[in-house]
Amino acid sequence: MSKSYHVAILGATGAVGTELLELLENRDFPLADLKLLASARSSGKTIKFKGENIPIESVSDHSFDKIDIVLASAGGGISKTWAGVAIEKDAVVIDNSSAFRMNQEVPLVVPEVNPQNAASHRGIIANPNCTTILMTLAVWPLHKVKPVKRIVAATYQSASGAGAKAMEEVKTQTSAILQGHPAVAEVLPYPLAFNLFPHNSPMTDLGYCEEELKMVNETRKIFGSQEIRITATCVRVPVLRAHSEAINLEFETPFSPHEAREILSQAPGIRFVEDWQTNHFPMPIEASGRDEVLVGRIRQDISHPCCLELWLCGDQIRKGAALNAVQIAELLIEKNWLSH
Amino acid sequence: MSKSYHVAILGATGAVGTELLELLENRDFPLADLKLLASARSSGKTIKFKGENIPIESVSDHSFDKIDIVLASAGGGISKTWAGVAIEKDAVVIDNSSAFRMNQEVPLVVPEVNPQNAASHRGIIANPNCTTILMTLAVWPLHKVKPVKRIVAATYQSASGAGAKAMEEVKTQTSAILQGHPAVAEVLPYPLAFNLFPHNSPMTDLGYCEEELKMVNETRKIFGSQEIRITATCVRVPVLRAHSEAINLEFETPFSPHEAREILSQAPGIRFVEDWQTNHFPMPIEASGRDEVLVGRIRQDISHPCCLELWLCGDQIRKGAALNAVQIAELLIEKNWLSH
């Protein structure tokens, strides 16, 4: 990896953009230079990166000249508008929005799960939904050994999944309640402080919200299996950062919890956390700011001989978004898969 | 119901005791007089009830003389010590602890579900675990129409389930974090403010904590069905009051969500809350302080033709504990089932 690359971050000022900057600064990423793109509102400001003040530029037709890799995290609308322009300039767009994820021509990649799919990109690789990334990381190592038949998932999703403003809103609401004042909800539809509610993404005709269907459809695409049956209940909880998931896995035949533990203890991207004596299992405060997804509390489901229960927490801004995107970029570089 | 009854509250100063007092004050309960019993520590203090200051007495051999009904909520050890004494004095003990729940001679009763079981008591009736009460209320009306084969539950349990001190601890921790200080955990094993963790009840050899096994075993006893298969993941969340549950129900044959909605809209003890347009479903802040369990978000499980998903929130101190106990007392009075 002696070559270095021209990278642009589209959406540099958001929660994921901030995390991307931190990762590029701290990982051994072969960066030639970094361009920061954001909306016109942020244009003219600067962001400190490796001791240097980098100006934030408003995105335009020439933003992608000489760029090798675009890390896009500015929402589906922006990605749809600019991805084509970037691709024409021979850049590869690693897109964090949901705009292209279910497009058959766009690979949807978790590097620990389906790195090979990245090879066939035509200029865009989609970064999966945060909740999906965390789940696939824990389920794939078991699925490889014995195919998963059905997943029943319930999530505990932090405020930061709805962006930095939602995170601030929860703090403000919490502070208000502690002082005896009412909680005002402006970013999220209902007060989240000391409360929780089913995920506020748009509702679909199936009675599943979009977040829930992402877990279903994206997992199937990443696993390359339309047979796997998945249901999910996604819930927002008053945690600032890191999502948690209670996952029930059904296999064709029994899967020994002992074997599952052995497999997950050595699986990439996972830190296995299980202390039955002290009731110490993955927790959001211990998952926050970490690269690894914390997985543990593997149990034989006492209601079904072929089912396992497991529990995980992962930083959805890091591995659930920014880190996964940077890992995809590193994969493309390592395998020499940048051209399209 | 022209007769009136001598009632004692054992554990009058706790979170459930406080709620019992409020219910007895506000319901049309035929009270002759009320005795408040607590540990020696609270002895000598008074509690205001219907405008009168009632002294708190330390429990003794003579505490139950002439008492008709004991509402016990002082923990399993206290119940085991004093239930026998109360029964010998011809009182009926409605016990909120887990001490007698799985005893074959002790009925375990949710009045909306299995009122008839209360008839055969021998002096003790057990009040089920809070999480179990909430779940049975929502599942029983469906189970009566078409037997439930399997339940996969994930819970979102508030701090108050661990008592008033845990509730205060979460507030103190939250306040500390908002001011940039660390969160100190003394009542609960880990900080709960802006965090969550698998339920901290003692771990069993099955890898299920006691809270999870209560949901399994108590539900089977209440439903009078050892065939029903149940698995649960119980999680503490930083909500002050009211528990939530994501419940996946498997039936032998498909159960129409439309029919389930019709049934639950008219079921006793339930308030049906479902607005798909505004994504408005049961929330802890709307369930707190209410008698009814809020149930809604009924969905056809897209992973299994015979499964339904549902979501509920209920005040675990009220219907999950105090109200259910008072309802049992009212049932015994109404049916003339007090003698034993």
Q: What structural domains and CATH numbers belong to chain B?
A: 5-128+321-335 (3.40.50.720), 132-316 (3.30.360.10)
Check whether B150 is labelled as a binding-site residue. no
Tally of CB atoms within 10 A around A217? 18
Q: How far is B326 from chain A (nearest CA, A)?
A: 27
- CB neighbours of A40 closer than 8 A, spacing ≥ 6? A58
Q: CA A321, A327, A328: angle at the middle one, nearest 5?
A: 90
Read off the pLDDT of residues B106-157 as tens digits, 9 standing for 90 and up. Answer: 999 999 999 999 999 999 999 999 999 999 999 999 999 999 999 999 999 9
Instruction: Report how far residue A57's alpha carbon sits from residue A306's, in angstroms, rounded to the nearest whole number.
Output: 54
Report CB contact under 8 Å: B311, A195.
no
Question: What is the distance between the alpha carbons of residues B93 and B118, in angstroms, rounded to a whole number?
Answer: 12
Secondary-structure percent of chain B, ordered helix, strand, coil, rounded to 5: 35, 25, 40
- What secondary structure letter does DSSP report for B8? E
- The secondary structure of A235-289 as a DSSP string is EE-S-SS-EEEEEEEEESS---HHHHHHHHHT-TTEEE--BTTTTB---HHHHTT
Does B206 sit within 8 Å of A150, measured CB to CB?
Answer: no
Sign of the dihedral through C-alpha A319, A323, A329, A330:
negative
- Taking CA–CA distances from B149, the nearest residue in chain A reads A303
Which of A160, A208, A286, A303 best probes binding to B when mutated, by most B CB atoms within 10 angstroms?
A303
Question: Judging by beta carbons within 10 Å of its beta carbon (0-12, 13-18, 19+), is residue B85 exposed, middle or buried?
Answer: middle
- pLDDT over 80 (residue A144): yes
Residue B281 sits at the chain A interface (C-beta within 8 Å): yes
- Binding-face residues of B in 188-217 toward A, CB within 8 A: 189-191, 194-198, 200, 203, 206-209, 216
Q: Residues for chain A: how many in total?
A: 340
Asked if the Cβ–Cβ distance from B203 to A154 is below 8 Å, we say no
Q: Is the pLDDT of residue A15 over 90?
A: no
Residue among A154, A239, A311 whose CB faces B198 most closely = A311
Q: Which residue from A196, A229, A304 is facing B284, i.e. has the nearest CB? A: A196
Q: What are the DSSP calls for A12-81, one per residue? A: TTSHHHHHHHHHHHHS---EEEEEEEE-GGGTT-EEEETTEEEEEEE--TTTTTT-SEEEE-S-HHHHHH
The first and second tokens of residue A299, run together, are 């149990």
The residue-averaged pLDDT of A314-321 equals 95
**Can you read off the two tokens belonging to residue B54?**
């009632």
Residue A333, helix vs strand vs coil: helix
Query: Is there a contact between B297 and A198 if contact means CB atoms under 8 Å apart?
Result: yes
Q: What is the largest distance, in Å, between two alpha-carbon atoms of chain B?
A: 61
Q: Rg of the Cα trace of chain B?
A: 20
Exposure on the CB side of residue B14, measured as CA atoms within 13 A? 24
Angle at Cα A153 formed by Cα A150 and Cα A156, nearest 5°? 170
Full DSSP string of A222-236: HHT-SS-EEEEE-EE
B325 is in an annotated binding site: no
Residue type, B320: G
A307 and B207 in contact by Cβ < 8 A?
no
CB atoms A239 and B311 under 8 Å: no
* Active site members of B: 130, 243
The candidate with the shortest Cα–Cα distance to A207, out of B89, B167, B274, is: B274
| B303 inside 8 A of chain A by CB | yes
Q: What is the pLDDT of residues A267-302, one digit of tens each?
A: 999 999 999 999 999 999 999 999 999 999 999 999
- A236 annotated as a binding-site residue: yes
What does the longest C-alpha to C-alpha distance in chain A come to? 61
A167-180 mean pLDDT: 96
Comparing CA positions, the residue from B192, B168, B257 lying closest to residue A156 is B192
Residue B203: what residue type? M
* Chain A closest-CA separation from residue B19 CA (Å): 20
State the pLDDT at residue A1: 46
| Predicted pLDDT of residue A41 | 87
Q: Do B248 and A231 touch (CB under 8 A)?
A: yes
Chain A neighbors of B281, CB-CB under 8 A? 197-198
Select from A118, A68, A59, A60 the least CA-distant residue to A89: A68
Would you call B207 and A156 a contact, using CB atoms and an 8 Å cutoff?
no
Spell out which residues of chain A touch residue B196, defining contact as CB-CB under 8 Å.
156, 237, 239, 244, 283-284
Active site residues of A: 130, 243
Closest CA to A274 of B201, B236, B203: B203
Instruction: Tell me whether A178 touches chain B (CB under 8 Å).
Output: yes
Query: What is the distance in angstroms between the Cα of A232 and the nearest Cα belonging to chain B?
Result: 9
In this predicted structure, what is the pLDDT of residue A163?
A: 83
B236 is in an annotated binding site: yes
**Mean pLDDT, to the nearest integer, of A16-26?**
95
Residue in A closest to B287 by C-alpha: A195
What percentage of chain A exceeds 70 in pLDDT?
A: 100
Q: How many helices (H) and strands (E) does chain A have?
A: 8, 15
pLDDT mean across residues, chain A: 96
Q: How many CB pairs under 8 A join A and B?
A: 163
Residues 6+ away with beta carbon under 8 Å from B110: B128, B133, B136, B137, B140, B222, B324
- In chain B, whose CA is at the least distance from the CA of A188? B279
Contact A198 B303 (CB under 8 A): no
Q: What is the pLDDT of residue A68?
A: 98
For residue B206, the chain A residues in CB contact (below 8 A) are 299-300, 302
* A92 neighbors A71 (Cβ within 8 angstroms): no
Contact B246 A301 (CB under 8 A): no
The answer on pLDDT for A46 being more than 50 is: yes
| B302: nearest CB among A194, A195, A208 | A208
Average pLDDT estimate for A53-64: 95
Measured CA to CA, the distance from residue A240 to residue A243 in angstroms comes to 9
- The whole-angstrom separation of Cα B103 and Cα B91 is 19
Four-point Cα dihedral A289, A293, A299, A302, nearest 10: 100
Contacts of B237 in chain A (CB under 8 A): 156, 196, 237-238
Instruction: Give the mutation candidate from B211, B285, B312 for the A interface (greatest A CB count, under 10 A).
Output: B285
| B176 in A contact zone (CB under 8 Å) | no
Nearest to A322 by CA among A334, A312, A314: A314
CA dist., res. B210 & res. B199, Å (int): 9
A122: nearest Cα among A108, A107, A101: A107
Assigned token pair, A168: 């601030």
Per the structure block, which two tokens stand in for A101? 């994820």
Query: CA of B168 to nearest chain A CA: how many angstroms apart?
Result: 11
Residues of chain B with pLDDT under 70: 1
Looking at residue B105, its pLDDT comes to: 97
- Residues 229 to 248 of B: which have CB under 8 A from any A CB? 229-231, 233, 235, 237-240, 244, 246, 248
